[in-house]
Each structure stands twice: as structure tokens, then as C-alpha cells.
Chains A and B, each alone.
Chain A
């Protein structure tokens, strides 16, 4: 029996299981670059307009963190730079897809059934990686075709397409490695997303340093996300860079295979330890159970926010250096934008929006634990005890609503501290950043409440809250800048929050959003009280 026997059948199984998700996933990131071409040519019809836009953008550190360093003012360069968050999205999906088809299967016990047939030990991993990398290649090819179809040079289009496909493949391989480490798919996802977060942060630090003439530019080389722009699509392609992701992916896959050979099916490399023989005295209420289920991820996410906050807050200072190093023309542009203070404020505001979106994602996920408990059969024994449904749900809901407060305080304080240390005014830095982080909370609560409302009324659709969050994020990010209609931008929940720091603190939108969140919670509770449990 060869080492890959059965891979073909497992690939077909994976394609069958993902027949809705996969096409959707391949199409959405593929059309982004083409959408940007249309948006840029409409919004900035002349080379001068593009040049002006490029000069403004190059001084926006938030852009650099999100998209990487901008190489030049040509349409191709601007479009591929603006699509710089696509590698992050593709990386995330690739990582999760591989874990879902390997470790999740194993944890659920389905892998055992599959391996007992005439299928080799490595077939599951091979199928997961091949399907994911295949999807990445299709995304890359489609992106290249769409860019070339819009009249951009073929070489640059191809470089961009292969670049993002290669990054996707690297993260698919990262997924294969982390899937070997833990017995639980949840912890594997946690480790994988941490790797992605670190890669994102490294590119941000490196590229901001490059643009401000700092010495830390080399850090971007450590980040797979940074490799796409290193290819320099439309700016004299450096094809040899492709060797880097290929070597990295191959090495990681070899590592995953080696790790897989050292462990049994169903187990991880990190051993499963014995637990206590009896429950601690405090573990006696549904709320205590909820706390027990969430405390690990709550702590690791808080630490994550602190680390990322320190990195992002530290970068803010290099914008000061940027001011000194820039040309007179650039300094004029900056003055027009409102001076250095405004530029830093804008950067911090953008980071706070990201904090809000990520917190909202975490909060939604905490609320959706209720759904996982229900469909996994773990809600039933609790509800068969003298526990009212609301009491069962309230523990998870409380963590979903209070956790973000903790994160806002930690993230805001650390960003402010890191920024304040370099400007010398720690007090002002902390109070500004803390306030800016706290105003994100009503939007975070609104999304958590939306998840609860769907869970109460339409439990099968509850997971779509994530899709609504993504839509809101994209409308907010792309709408304003690419001159979309105001009504479209207004659909983004985050667009209604006050622009802090720097902007005016308006209380009304915060109150309205909190009220909406409260109403949605009531709707969800009412639905939950009335409906059948469990809904399959």
C-alpha cells in the first residue's frame, strides 16, 4: 500500500462536503483585485490623481499595517497593494480548512472510521492540503485573469496571482502542522490563528519601518504575508521570491508528516493530562460551567490583544520619524491632511476599528458556543436539571458582553502606553487610546446580541452572524475610500462610531447601538424560551 492510497477518494469527500463553501470562498477573494481596478479608475481617472492618492496613502501607517508597503503610484501597484489584506484572508481560510478536514475529523472520531478502510495513514492530511492548495491556485489564477482582463500587464497580474496562492499554500501547511499538536481542534485553531496574527504583525512592523526609513525592514521577510509584495508585481517582478514560499510550504509539510508519524490516531503530541477527580466547589452553576469553558480562550485572547497592542502602539511613533524623513512635497501633503498629530490619530482610529471587528468576532463566537452546546447534545443534560433556559444562556452571554470590556481596557491601555512611552506623554497616550478602544464596545455588543437573537429565533442560521460582520467590515473599509454611496457605507455598523482619537465624542450613536443590542438580546431570549431544544 502506497503512502497516499485513498487520497483521491478523500479529495472527493472533501469537495462534496465543501461544495457550497469552497466555490464561494474561491470567488470572493478572486474578484477583489478586479473590483479595485474599477474603483480606482473611477475614483482617480488620471495618473495625477493616482499619484496624489499614492502620496497621501504612503503616509498612512494604518494602510501600511493592513496592506503592506506601497511600491509606487501605477494602477497595478495600487491595486495589488490595496488587495494586501487578501493574503491574510486566504491564509486564515487555508489554515482553518486544513484543520477542519484533519483534526476536527479526528476529534469527532470519524477519522478512525476512514482509516480503518483501505486508506493510508497520511491520506487525510494529503487530501486536505491538496484541496486547500488547489483552491488557492484557482484563486490565484482567477485573480490574475481578472487583472489581465482589465488591461493590466500580464506579468504583474500573474505575479500577484501566484503570490497570493503561494501564501495560501504556506498557511495550509501551517494548518497541517498545528493539527498534529493538540487533541482538540479548538486549540489547534488557536495556535494557527496566533501564527497568522504574528505574521500579520511582523509584516506591519517591517513595512512601516521600511517606509519611514527605519532599520527594521528585514522583519517583513519573516512573515509569509510579506512575501507577496516582495514579488513586486507591476514593479519589475522578482520571480525568484516564489522559491521562498515553496520551500517554506514543503518544509512545513515534511514537518507535519514527521510529527504525524510520531503519534497515534486520535492523540496529539501535547499529552492529555489527568483532571481532578471531583469538581471544585465553585463549579456548581451554569455560569460557572460557562466560565470554565471560556476561561482559557479568554485569557489567551487577552494576552494576544496585549501583545498586538504593544506592537501596533509602538509603530505609531515611527510616523513621527516619517515626518522628518519625507520630502518637502510629502510634508505639504501631510500638512493638508492636518499635520502629524492627525495622521497618528487616524492610524490609531483605524487600529481601534480593527480591534472592534476582531472583538466582535470573538464575542459572536462565544455566543455561538450556545449553539454548539445545543447541537452537540451537551445542553440537554444541563437543561434537564432544574436550570431555566435563560440561566443556562446567561453565563455565556455575560462572558460575550463583559469579555470585550476587558479586551478594550487591556488593548487601549497597552496601545496608549506603547505610543505614550515614545512621545513622552504616557498619560495622554493612555487616556486617548483607552477612550478610543472603549467606544468600540457598543458595536461589539450589537454583534454579540445579533448572534443571540438568531440563536433564539433561527438557530440554524446563527453562524451567519460572522458573514454579517464581514460585510459590515468590508463596507466600512472600502466604501468610504472608493467613493461608494453613502447609504452603502451607512450599512456598516462601525461607520457610526465616533472617530476617536482625534474626532468628536458623540454619545448618541453609542446609546442607540447599545439600545439596539439590548433589544436584540430580548428578542433572542424570548425566542429561546419558546422554541424546541435541541434543533438539529
Chain B
């Protein structure tokens, strides 16, 4: 199986700001890939380079086995894109925009268009200037999802959608996933969405990848929190490597443990006699916050690099 997207060492500077600083990204064909990062991390810039709208200063990018800049038009026949901030032509109706974008891409599936309009509950007759942000987003999403393309590039596609519509979006993407031949690169801030949909994720910060892998790979990087009621006393548990924040009172213990040390810690507990046990897997949220927190300080100076 080839890779739908492979990017390595991508650098892009705008004046003095370095939006991308040696970014690597690999998206396998047929997978839904989550692309995460704080505001201004370089997600949109990466997508624009993949679309041949911008040219990288250094590094290589391959998209569907082609060069995103030189083969832009040919590649665009095989992909659909939903921008992060959808703006439409104010005096065109939503239906007109959907048809136009679909036809520019080489035609769209009429049945699917009607189906999606119903699922997303969009009135296609209204002029674009009267649409709310969520409705504009729906227009771009329907235009993208109704096209028969190999690759979907979605830049925060559910921003502005209500929870019901978010659920519809997830259903639609899962259906795409089941077909097995569509690749989706999904940049998002909604962790539940990424956890529900994505096979693999890449987290970037300051234009560089900080984590990449399957969700279970990434979970290994964080702590599991354990809460247990014990028959005896948990002697020596606090001294185990990889166990943090142990608190014990009235026969109950609570602690966090690194994934690698989980096995040893549980053995220790069973030795003491376990009456009850609650074990919580690390959430993506924790993973996320670890990188976001570190980004908090320099975030302001990079805010200018969002574009």
C-alpha cells in the first residue's frame, strides 16, 4: 500500500516567522488521519502547500504520488478540500455553490448531494450571505463529500456545526472509511471526533511534529490512573519506578502509573489483595494538553503565523 501523503522536512517562512520548521507527515492510503495542533501551529499552511497554493521553502511533499505544486490541476481532480474558514459568494445560493464546486472538480453524485442536503438539514435556496457560519461550513462539506474523490483534505470541518450535525459528519466519514479506498486528512480541535474517527494522528506544534502514531501508540506515552480498595497495605508501591502521586487512606490507594510500569504495579496490588479496582486509560485530552501547555508561552508570537 502506498502513502496518500508523504511530507518530509517541510519549511515555510513568512517574513520573519517560521510557520513550518521541518515538518514530517505520512498519511497511508485508506486511513483517516488526525492532524492536531494549537492555533498557529502550521496546520493550514501544510494543507495549502499540499494543495499547491503555496510553495515550500525547503523539504519535499508528495500527494497521491504527484508533486503538489507542479501537478496541482491533475491532483485536484482526485481530491476535495474544505477550508477552515469557509466564505462564499454572497449572492449565490448554497445549492449553486455546491453544484459549482462539484462541477469544477469534475462532477458530483446527484443522489449523494440530495442525501447529504437532507442529512445536514440545509436549505440550498438561501443566498450565501444569509447563512450562519455553521451553514456555510455545511455547504463546503456537502460539496466535498458529494464528490467521488480519493482524498479529502478537511481543515477543522466541524467548526460551527451543532452537536447533531457533528454526529452526522462522523457518520458520513465512517461510511467513507468503510469503503476503504478513501483517504481523509482531518485537522481538528475536537478530540472526541479525532478519537472516534481517526486511525492515526499527528500532533504538531510550532511547525514541527511532536507526536505521531496510532491512538494506542500514543496512549502508551501517558499515564493510566488507578484507584483500588485493598485488603492489605500496599508496601513498596510508592518506590516502584513509574508510579506517581500515590495517596493512600483507609485501605484505598490512588496513583498514576506510566504504561510501561502498569504490569508491575498491578502485581503489587494483587499481592496486597484487591477488593475493587478502577483503571482509567489516558485520554487524548491529556496527551493534547501536555503539548498545548508547553505551547502556551510562545503561542502569542506565533499567532501571526496562522495563515
By a beta-carbon cutoff of 8 Å, the part of chain A in contact with chain B is 107, 183-184, 272-280, 283-286, 288-289, 292-293, 296, 376-378, 380-388, 532-534, 536
CB–CB B95/A277 < 8 A: yes
Nearest 9 A/B pairs, CB to CB? A275-B93, A279-B99, A385-B104, A384-B81, A284-B103, A386-B76, A279-B96, A377-B87, A532-B54
Chain B residue at minimal CB-CB distance from A373: B89
CB–CB A384/B76 < 8 A: yes
Overall SS of chain A's interface: loop
In the complex, what residues of B have CB within 8 A of residue A283's CB?
A: 96, 99-100, 103
Chain B residue at minimal CB-CB distance from A382: B104
In the complex, what residues of A have CB within 8 A of residue B254's CB?
A: none
In the complex, what residues of A have CB within 8 A of residue B80's CB?
A: 384
Q: Which of A275, A286, A296, A534 touches B104 (beta carbons < 8 Å)?
A: A286
CB–CB A275/B92 < 8 A: yes
CB–CB A278/B130 < 8 A: no
Chain B residue at minimal CB-CB distance from A383: B53
- The interface size of chain B toward A, counting residues with CB under 8 Å, comes to 45
Bound Cα distance A378, B128 (Å): 12
Stretch at the interface among B28-36, B119-127, B170-178: B119-127
CB–CB B88/A385 < 8 A: no
Contact with A along B78-121 (1 / 0, CB 8 A): 01110101111111110111111101111000000000000000
In the complex, what residues of B have CB within 8 A of residue A184's CB?
A: 90-91, 129
Q: Shortest beta-carbon distance, A446 to chain B, in Å? A: 29
Chain B residue at minimal CB-CB distance from A376: B87
Q: Shortest beta-carbon distance, A161 to chain B, in Å? A: 41
Contact of B73 with A by CB under 8 A: yes
Contact of B74 with A by CB under 8 A: yes
Q: Which of B53, B83, B103 touches A533 (beta carbons < 8 Å)?
A: B53
Q: Shortest beta-carbon distance, A181 to chain B, in Å? A: 15
Q: Shortest beta-carbon distance, A460 to chain B, in Å? A: 12
Q: Shortest beta-carbon distance, B66 to chain A, in Å? A: 12
CB–CB B53/A534 < 8 A: yes
CB–CB B89/A536 < 8 A: no
CB–CB A388/B103 < 8 A: no
Contact of B275 with A by CB under 8 A: no
CB–CB A183/B101 < 8 A: no
Bound Cα distance A526, B219 (Å): 49
Contact of B25 with A by CB under 8 A: no
In the complex, what residues of A have CB within 8 A of residue B143's CB?
A: 381
Chain A residue at minimal CB-CB distance from B155: A380
Q: Known interface pairs A184-B90, A276-B125. Does A532 touch B103 (Cβ–Cβ under 8 Å)? A: no
Chain A residue at minimal CB-CB distance from B84: A377
Q: Shortest beta-carbon distance, B89 to chain A, in Å? A: 6
Contact of B55 with A by CB under 8 A: yes
CB–CB A275/B96 < 8 A: yes
In the complex, what residues of A have CB within 8 A of residue B96's CB?
A: 275-276, 278-280, 283
CB–CB B87/A276 < 8 A: no
Contact with A along B46-64 (1 / 0, CB 8 A): 0010010111000000000
In the complex, what residues of A have CB within 8 A of residue B129's CB?
A: 107, 183-184, 272
In the complex, what residues of B have CB within 8 A of residue A278's CB?
A: 95-96, 98-99, 124
Q: Shortest beta-carbon distance, B40 to chain A, in Å? A: 14
Contact of B5 with A by CB under 8 A: no
